[in-house]
Copies of this chain bind each other. A is one copy, B any other.
Amino acid sequence: MDAVWECQAVPQPSEPAGTGSATTAGAAHRLAPGAARQHTVRDHNLGLVLGKVVDAPTPVSRADIAAATGLTRSTVSSLVEVLVAADLVAEVGPERRAGGGAGRPGIGLVASRRRVAGLGLELNVDYVAACVLDLAGEVRHRTVVPRDLRGTSPARAVAGLARMAVSAVDAAEAEGLTVAGAAVALPGLVHAPDGMLRLAPNLGWRDVDVLGLLSREPSLEAMAVRGALVVDNEANLAALGELDDARGRAEVEGSRYTFLYVSGEIGVGAGIVIDGSIFRGGHGWGGEIGHLPVDPDGPPCRCGSRGCLEQYAGREAVLRAAELSSLPELVEAATDGRERVLGALTDAGRALGIAVASVVNVVDVSTVVLGGLYAELAEWLVPAVEAEIGGRVLAQAWAPVTIRVCSLGGDAAILGAAGSVVRSVVQQPAYLLRA
C-alpha cells in the first residue's frame, strides 16, 4: 500500500554552510523546496500512475490505480487525463476486471505505443547493434551488424554506431515516435559521468570519449546536452534486459530479483543485480568476472594478467579448444556428440563454474543467469558449472544456486539499454511533457 504524504519545508532562520548529512527527510523531499512543491508532488504522482499502467500485464482501470497507489480517485482521474492527452496512456475496453470480481466493467488503460520510445545501442568487439523499444516494451526497430572492430580506430568505430543510432531515430520518427534518449552498451570499464570507455581489453582501447564521439552527430549531441544519452557496461545493461524480461514474465515481484548475469561473448562480463538494482561498487567497475583467475599461472590474457576466465571460456578460447571457427559449427558438432567438442565445452564449463562460484561466495546471490554465447551452449556447459558450484559455494546447502538461461540471446544488452530509457520516462513523464 503506497502512502501519500503532503510535505512542507519549514524555512530556517539561518542556514550557514554546514557539513552534516541530511537525515531529517527523504532525499525526494529535499529536491522539492519551497514554491516548487505543488509541481513536484504532481510530477511524482504522474510517474506513479504511469508506472502502474505500464507494469500491469493486462489493462487496468482508474479504480485499480487508486487502490494500488492510495491516491484518491479524483486525483487519479485528473492524472490519467494528462497522460491520455499526452498519448502516453491509451484507453481500451470496456473490459471486465481481472478476477471478475465486484464492480462494473471500466475503461481499461494501457501504455500507448504511439508517442515515445527508448533507443538501445551496443558497440561490442565484433558487432554493433541498435533497437527501439516503445512504452509497451515492444521492439519497433532492430539492427545488428557483425563488424570486427579490433582493427578499427575508436573514432571510426563509434562513428559507425552513431550512424546506426541516427537511422534508428529516423525509423522511430517515421512511425510518429519521439526517442526520449539512448543508452549505449560497451564491452569494458565505463565511466558513466563523463561518458568515457576507460578500458576495453579485447579492443585494445583505453580512455575513449564515446559520448563525445557520438555527439558529433547533431541529433545525438542534442540528446547528450539534455542528459539523455548515457553509456554503461554491456553486462550491466544485459542484466537490466534480463530483469525487464523477468518482470514481463511476472516471475519477479516488484524489485525482488537478485541475480548474477554472466555475459559470454569474445569477452566475458557480469552484471550483479541486488533487489532489482545493479550493484556498481565504488566506481561502477564491478562484475569483471572475465578476469578472475582460473589458474593464476595460466595463459596470458589481453588485460595483461594470466589465466583469466576469458582465456578458458571466452568465445575464441572455446572455439580454439574445439578446433572450430564459428559458433554455429560448435553447436552442430556438440549436437552431433563429437568428443573433442564436448570435452572443450566441459572444460569451459568447469572454468566458468570456478569463476561463478567465486563471485557467488563474494556477493552472495543464488540465481545465475547465463547470457550471450553461454545461453546457446547451456546444454553442454551447465553440468560442469553446476558441479563446480556444488563443490565450491559455501552457502550452497542453505541457499542452493539456480542456473537459468537468458532467453534474449545476443539482444539482452540493447533491450536492457532501451528499456532503461523507457523506465526513466515512466518514472519522470513530466520531463517529456514539458519538453
Task: List A residues at the B interface (Cβ < 8 Å).
Answer: 1-10, 12-30, 33, 44-45, 48, 52, 67-70, 72, 189, 191, 198-199, 201, 206, 253-255, 258, 270, 272, 274, 279-289, 291-296, 303-306, 354, 357-359, 361-366, 391-392, 394-395, 397-399
Q: Is B395 touching A283 in the complex (CB atoms < 8 A)?
A: yes
Knowing that A3-B24, A363-B363 are A-B contacts, what are 7 other residue pairs whose CB atoms are under 8 Å apart, sorted by A's residue number?
Answer: A1-B16, A3-B12, A3-B33, A189-B395, A258-B281, A291-B392, A292-B358
Q: Which of A287, A357, A394, A398 has the most CB of B within 10 A?
A: A394
Hey, which chain B residues are within 8 Å of A287, CB to CB?
362
What separation, in Å, do the CA atoms of A198 and B305 have in the docked complex?
A: 36
Hey, which chain B residues are within 8 Å of A68, CB to CB?
18-20
| CB-based nearest B residue for A287 | B362
Residue of B27, B33, B291 touching A26 (CB-CB under 8 A):
B27
Residue of B29, B45, B392 touching A305 (CB-CB under 8 A):
B392
What separation, in Å, do the CA atoms of A399 and B280 have in the docked complex?
A: 14
Hey, which chain B residues are within 8 Å of A45, CB to CB?
24
Hey, which chain B residues are within 8 Å of A206, CB to CB?
397
What separation, in Å, do the CA atoms of A206 and B295 have in the docked complex?
A: 31
Q: Is A292 touching B18 in the complex (CB atoms < 8 A)?
A: no
Chain B proximity of A335: nearest CB distance (Å): 29
What separation, in Å, do the CA atoms of A26 and B22 have in the docked complex?
A: 13
Q: Is B72 touching A12 in the complex (CB atoms < 8 A)?
A: yes
Hey, which chain B residues are within 8 Å of A198, CB to CB?
395, 397-398
Q: Is A30 touching B15 in the complex (CB atoms < 8 A)?
A: no
Q: Can you give 24 A-B contacts (C-beta < 8 A)?
A: A1-B15, A3-B25, A3-B29, A4-B10, A4-B12, A4-B25, A5-B24, A21-B254, A26-B28, A206-B397, A270-B362, A274-B282, A281-B362, A281-B364, A281-B365, A284-B364, A286-B363, A286-B364, A287-B362, A288-B394, A293-B357, A303-B394, A359-B362, A362-B362
Hey, which chain B residues are within 8 Å of A3, CB to CB?
9, 12, 22, 24-25, 29-30, 33
Hey, which chain B residues are within 8 Å of A20, CB to CB?
1-2, 52, 68-70
Chain B proximity of A277: nearest CB distance (Å): 12
Chain B proximity of A54: nearest CB distance (Å): 13
Q: Is B24 touching A2 in the complex (CB atoms < 8 A)?
A: yes
Q: Is B394 touching A189 in the complex (CB atoms < 8 A)?
A: yes
Count this chain's copies in the assembly. 2
Q: Is A18 touching B397 in the complex (CB atoms < 8 A)?
A: no
Q: Is B281 touching A18 in the complex (CB atoms < 8 A)?
A: no
Hey, which chain B residues are within 8 Å of A48, CB to CB?
23-24
What separation, in Å, do the CA atoms of A423 and B1 have in the docked complex?
A: 31
Chain B proximity of A106: nearest CB distance (Å): 16
Chain B proximity of A387: nearest CB distance (Å): 12
Q: Is A69 touching B395 in the complex (CB atoms < 8 A)?
A: no
| CB-based nearest B residue for A48 | B23
What separation, in Å, do the CA atoms of A394 and B67 have in the docked complex?
A: 49
What separation, in Å, do the CA atoms of A45 and B14 have in the docked complex?
A: 18
Q: Is B2 touching A362 in the complex (CB atoms < 8 A)?
A: no
Hey, which chain B residues are within 8 Å of A14, CB to CB?
67
Hey, which chain B residues are within 8 Å of A23, CB to CB?
2, 44, 48
Q: Is A25 touching B9 in the complex (CB atoms < 8 A)?
A: no
Hey, which chain B residues are within 8 Å of A67, CB to CB?
14, 16, 18
What separation, in Å, do the CA atoms of A52 and B365 have in the docked complex?
A: 37
Q: Is A292 touching B24 in the complex (CB atoms < 8 A)?
A: no
Per CB-CB distance, the 4 closest pairs between chain A and chain B, nearest first, are: A26-B26, A281-B364, A286-B364, A5-B25
Chain B proximity of A395: nearest CB distance (Å): 5
